[in-house]
A and B are shown apart, each in its own frame.
Chain A
Amino acid sequence: NAGVTQTPKFQVLKTGQSMTLQCAQDMNHEYMSWYRQDPGMGLRLIHYSVGAGITDQGEVPNGYNVSRSTTEDFPLRLLSAAPSQTSVYFCASSYTPFGGKEEAFFGQGTRLTVV
């Protein structure tokens, strides 16, 4: 059981570069989301998806794009990296939206540094 797989685990970017954080889950979950975790703060929702082809913005969506072409994959794209995007990023999935009967499963996290 792979669960939720995030790659890469660590990444250093220069300001202005673009990159894609990959997230894949093998549990056939409909609901997937991306969070960022900053020091001294709880996780904040960037984007989420309630199923293939459907995405929506969370609390802090600026500077990020997502797409959901398959149930399994939910990549997060940084269009033009900025130092303010230095953070730890978590992908999560669950069978039902948070607040339903299922817990959320999280990936291992991606530690991103933008210099």
Chain B
Amino acid sequence: AQKVTQAQTEISVVEKEDVTLDCVYETRDTTYYLFWYKQPPSGELVFLIRRNSFDEQNEISGRYSWNFQKSTSSFNFTITASQVVDSAVYFCALSEAPGSNYQLIWGAGTKLIIKP
């Protein structure tokens, strides 16, 4: 069965430190999609990235980067030079295609606290 594990419940770092949020997934499908969403204190959910299982290239977007490794079933998220505005809960999610009706399976989230 599909599953997403975010083992880090809460991480606290000082501003400007780099921080990595871990995401480990389980799936039996060869075709699947992985996502990261951000939930700031205001509560809305903000899409960050989607990656399909056939694209193992790492992605960088400004201070954000993602490391997708199929060999370890991980899709980790790194914030470089963290800022207070990065404080939020971050969710990793998995979608299998097509048999699961594309339901998103969510991890429990990692609360990231950036101290000034």
Contact = CB atoms under 8 A, between A and B. Distances in A.
A100 B43 CA distance: 25
B106 interface: yes
Most chain A Cβ neighbours within 10 Å, of B4, B47, B98: B47
Contact of B44 (A56, A106, A111): A106
A33 to B, nearest CB: 8
A58 B102 contact: no
A103 interface: yes
Contacts, number: 59
Interface stretch (B62-70, B77-85, B88-96): B88-96
Nearest to A59: B103
A99 B33 contact: yes
Interface residues of B, number: 25
Contacts of A53: none
A114 interface: no
B32 to A, nearest CB: 7
Given A88-B43, A103-B50, A41 B104 contact: no
Nearest to A107: B44
A100 B31 CA distance: 11
Nearest to A58: B103
B104 A43 contact: yes
B93 A108 contact: no
Contacts of A40: 9, 108
Nearest to B42: A108
B44 A48 contact: no
26 contacts: A31-B102, A40-B9, A42-B4, A42-B91, A42-B93, A42-B106, A43-B93, A45-B104, A48-B101, A58-B103, A59-B103, A88-B43, A90-B45, A97-B102, A98-B35, A98-B104, A99-B33, A99-B95, A99-B98, A100-B102, A103-B35, A103-B47, A103-B50, A104-B104, A108-B44, A111-B43
